[in-house]
């Protein structure tokens, strides 16, 4: 499906759609989630460069905007990065602030369950922007029968991946075997070198977010061919 981008002739409407999705997601959550999303929306509406997907603002400025101390800024920005909503495009150095970006596809995936709260017209409009990787018609993914659910972090990550996109899960994630965790790195075993290479190239971010949410102590993923 076509992915939403807040650029072009309909940029203004797309921006409202993204912010509406975030709003609906926040209102359905608890007070902590509502506060975090509100703070991110404040950054988006005041400092975010939609055209370049860049957010460059220092912690002191953020603290002033949010009316909090810098320790709170560090904590909440870390939560946003861990969720996958914010990514680091360029790390700050020598007095320069980091340049951040928004992962709009990740935001749409996480907010999708609450779109219906806005209304059926919104759901119908957003259906064409639902973030799912385009099907690769040149290759046929290796398929295996469903394997028994793994234990631990990979089990929870599998459940999230399946709930986000069942077809994608069945094609690329279901056959991955849990190779264990080594020094904060989850090892996943793919059925072939091609399968492993495809995951590393096209779907590693999706895997990384799901695993991080399952176990925040896991910072890396290594995909090996079985």
- pLDDT value of residue 189: 94
Q: How far apart are CA 61 and CA 67, in angstroms?
A: 10
pLDDT tens for each residue of 159-200 = 989 988 888 899 899 999 999 998 889 999 999 999 999 999
157 C-beta neighbours (distance < 10 Å), count: 28
Average pLDDT, rounded, for the chain: 85
* Burial label, 198 (beta-carbon count in 10 A; 0-12, 13-18, 19+): buried
Radius of gyration of the chain (CA): 19
- pLDDT value of residue 93: 77
- pLDDT value of residue 27: 96
Angle (CA) 155-147-195 rounded to 5° is: 90
- pLDDT value of residue 173: 93
- Taken in order of first residue, the domains within the chain and their CATH numbers are 11-108 (1.10.10.10), 153-225 (3.30.300.180)
Average pLDDT over residues 84-106: 88
Residue 210, pLDDT > 60, answer yes
Least confident of 5-14, 53-62, 64-73: 5-14
How much of the chain is helix, strand and coil, in % rounded to 5?
55, 15, 35
- Pick from 88, 114, 109: which is nearest to 26 by CA? 114
Note the pTM of the prediction, 2 decimals: 0.68
Q: For residue 114, what is the DSSP state? A: G
Model confidence at 70, pLDDT cuts 50, 70, 90, reads very high
């Amino acid at each position: 499906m076509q992915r939403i981008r807040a650029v072009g002739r309909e940029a203004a409407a797309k921006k409202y759609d993204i912010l509406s999705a975030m709003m609906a997601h926040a209102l359905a959550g608890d007070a902590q989630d509502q506060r975090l999303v509100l703070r991110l929306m404040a950054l988006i509406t005041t400092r975010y460069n939609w055209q370049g997907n860049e957010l460059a603002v220092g912690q002191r400025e953020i603290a002033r905007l949010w009316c909090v101390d810098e320790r709170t800024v560090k904590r909440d920005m870390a939560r946003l990065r861990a969720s996958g909503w914010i990514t680091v495009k360029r790390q700050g150095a020598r007095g320069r602030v980091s340049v951040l970006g928004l992962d709009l596809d990740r935001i749409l995936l996480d907010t999708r369950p609450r779109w219906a709260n806005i209304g059926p017209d919104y759901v119908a409009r957003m259906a064409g922007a639902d973030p799912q990787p385009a099907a690769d018609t040149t290759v046929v993914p290796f398929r295996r029968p469903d394997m028994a659910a793994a234990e631990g972090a990979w089990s929870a990550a599998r459940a999230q991946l399946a709930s986000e996109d069942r077809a994608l899960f069945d094609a690329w994630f279901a056959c991955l075997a849990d190779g264990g965790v080594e020094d904060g790195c989850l090892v996943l075993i793919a059925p072939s070198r091609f399968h492993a290479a495809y995951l590393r190239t096209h779907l590693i971010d999706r895997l990384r977010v799901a695993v991080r949410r399952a176990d925040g102590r896991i910072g890396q993923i290594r995909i090996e061919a079985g």
